[in-house]
A and B are shown apart, each in its own frame.
Chain A
C-alpha cells in the first residue's frame, strides 16, 4: 500500500500545502485552500469512522455545529478565549458522541444511517430554534481568534486569508498525522478487523462495541474542530453548519476520494470544495454536474478516486 504509508502521505500533504501558494494568483485561492483544509479535517475523522471501522454517519455535521457554536458562545458566556472555546467544543462533542454513540452504534447499515441523521437534525434544530442564545437561523458573530495579531508582534504579517490557509493547513497535517498513527496502532488494527467482519472480530476477542465507540468519538472530535475552525475563520456562523446537507457533503467527500486512505479522503475534500467554484462557469447547470460527478465516481470508482487511480497506475506498472 504505497499511499497509506505514513511518511509518504504526510510528506505529500506538507509539500502540497507549502508549494501550492506559489501558483495562487490572488488571495481568493487562499480562502478556497483553507476551506479545503477545514473540510479535509472533518473528512479525516470520517476516514477513522467509515474507512477504518466501517460505520456510517449521516449526522456528523451536528458535531461540526457544536464545535462552531462553542466558539461563538463560550467566549461570550463562559469568558473563554476562542482557542480554548474550540477545545471546550471538542470536549463537549466527545462527551455527546460517547453518550449517543453507545446506543446508536448497535444499529447497522441504513438503521445506523437514519439514527445518526436524526441526531444531526436534532442538533441543527436546537441551534436554529434557541434563537435567544444562538441568534436563530440568521446566525451569530464569532469573536476573533487573535492569533494573527500575536504573529504580527513577532514580525510575521499575514493577511487574513493567508493566515487561515496556514493555520488550518497546520491543523490538518496534525490531524492527518494522528489518524495515520492510529491506523498502525493496536486500536487501528482492531477497527480494521471489525470492519472486515464484526462477528469474526468478536470471536477473536475484539471488544467490538468499545472500538466502534472509540472511532465514533474520535471522528466527532475531528468534526467539532473543523466546525470551530470554520466559525473562527468566517467570524460568523449559522445553523447551516450543522445541517443535513453538510453531513452529506462530508460523507461524500470521504467516500468520493477513498474512505480507506487519509490522502484519498482529503482529495475528496479538494474536489468537492473546488467543484462548486469551477462549476460557476456552467451557471444553471451546476447542480446537474455536481450530481453527475457524484454518481459517476461512485459507479466507476467504487473504492473512491485515489485508491482506484493508484490501483490502475500500479496495474500498468506490473
Chain B
C-alpha cells in the first residue's frame, strides 16, 4: 500500500508543522493561562527574518540564530508592553489583545520586509528519500526531529528543572507562587521568550516546505491552536499528539475521502473529541472556584 504510506508520511510532515506551532502555545499558556494568538506571527518572523538575513549574505545557520534571538526579544516586548499591563483581564480581552498584537506584527513585517512569498533552501537538499514506494523530503525529517526535540526539552523543562516547576506553580496560583519566593514577572518574561524562540525555530524549520510571507501566521496559529486544544492545552504531549493527529487526519481525508473537505474533517473530529472530552485528549481537569 504505497498510497497509504504516502498519505501517512504527508500527514506526519504537516502534523509536525502543526505540532511545532502547538508546542509554542504551551509554555505561555502554562505560565499565564493566556492563549497567545500571535504565536503564528512568531513562526512567520522566524521564517521571514531568516530569509532576509540569508539573502543579505549571512550563512543560513547564523541567519536562523539571529531570527530566533530577534523573535524571542519581540516575545519579551509583547509580554512587557501588552500582556503584563493587562493581567487579570478576562479571556475574551486577552484573545483580542493577542489578535491585535498579531495584526500589529503583520503590519510591521509588511512595512519592514515585503508582501512577497519567500523560501530558503532546504537544509539537506531536495532529493526525496524512498520508503517502501512512498517518498519524503529530507526537510520533513528535520521538521519531525525538531518537533520531537522540542517536545523532549519541554518535558524535561517542566518536570526536571526548578524553573520549569516555577512556571507551573505560577500558572496554578500566582500569589502562592510569589509567597514561596518565585519571581513571577521573571517567569512570565522567560515563558514569552521561550515560546517566541520555539515559534521562530518552527518557522526556520518549516519555511523550506511551506514557504513564508508576511501573512502566513494566522493560518498556522489557527491550526496550531486547534491542535493544542485537541491534545489538551498546556500539555506538551497533547500538543505533539494533537498536531500529528490533525495532520494525519487531513492527509487521510484528502487521500481517501475528499480533498475539498479535509479541513472540515479535522474540525469535525476536534468538535467530537471536545464533546466527549471537554479538556482535550490530555488536558488537565479543572474545577471552578466559587
Contact = CB atoms under 8 A, between A and B. Distances in A.
A121 to B, nearest CB: 6
A286 B110 CA distance: 11
A197 B287 CA distance: 12
Contacts of A289: 107
Interface residues of A, number: 49
A291 B107 contact: yes
A-side interface mostly: helix
A290 B263 contact: no
B151 to A, nearest CB: 21
A19 interface: no
A125 B261 contact: yes
Contacts of B82: 295, 299
Contact of B110 (A50, A121, A244, A284): A284
Contact of A115 (B103, B105, B274): B274
Given A111-B280, A114-B270, A117-B222, A291 B233 contact: no
Nearest to A121: B267
A174 to B, nearest CB: 26
Interface string B25-47: 00000000001000000000000
A302 interface: yes
Interface in A245-288: 248, 251-252, 255-256, 259, 284-288
A122 B270 CA distance: 12
Contacts of B90: 302
A24 interface: no
A111 B103 contact: no
B103 A113 contact: no
Given A108-B278, A111-B279, A287 B91 contact: no
Contacts of A287: 103-104, 106-107, 110
Contact of A292 (B100, B102, B229, B267): B100
Given A107-B278, A110-B229, A251 B91 contact: no
Contact of A295 (B97, B222, B274): B97
Interface residues of B, number: 44
B100 A294 contact: yes
Contacts, number: 130
Given A119-B271, A288-B111, A298-B96, A110 B104 contact: no
Contacts of B267: 118-119, 121-122
Given A198-B288, A302-B86, A302-B89, A284 B101 contact: no
A258 to B, nearest CB: 11
Contacts of A122: 264, 267-268
Nearest to B264: A125
A109 interface: yes
Contacts of A311: none
A181 interface: no
A114 B100 contact: no
A124 B23 CA distance: 28
Interface string A188-204: 00000000011110000
The 4 closest A-B pairs by CB, nearest first: A291-B104, A294-B100, A287-B107, A291-B103
Interface of B: 35, 82, 85-86, 89-93, 95-97, 99-108, 110-111, 222, 225-226, 229, 233, 260-261, 263-264, 267-268, 270-271, 274-275, 278-280, 288, 290
21 contacts: A56-B92, A56-B95, A106-B278, A109-B91, A111-B229, A111-B279, A114-B225, A118-B226, A125-B264, A199-B288, A244-B222, A255-B93, A284-B111, A287-B110, A288-B107, A290-B104, A291-B103, A294-B96, A295-B97, A298-B89, A299-B82
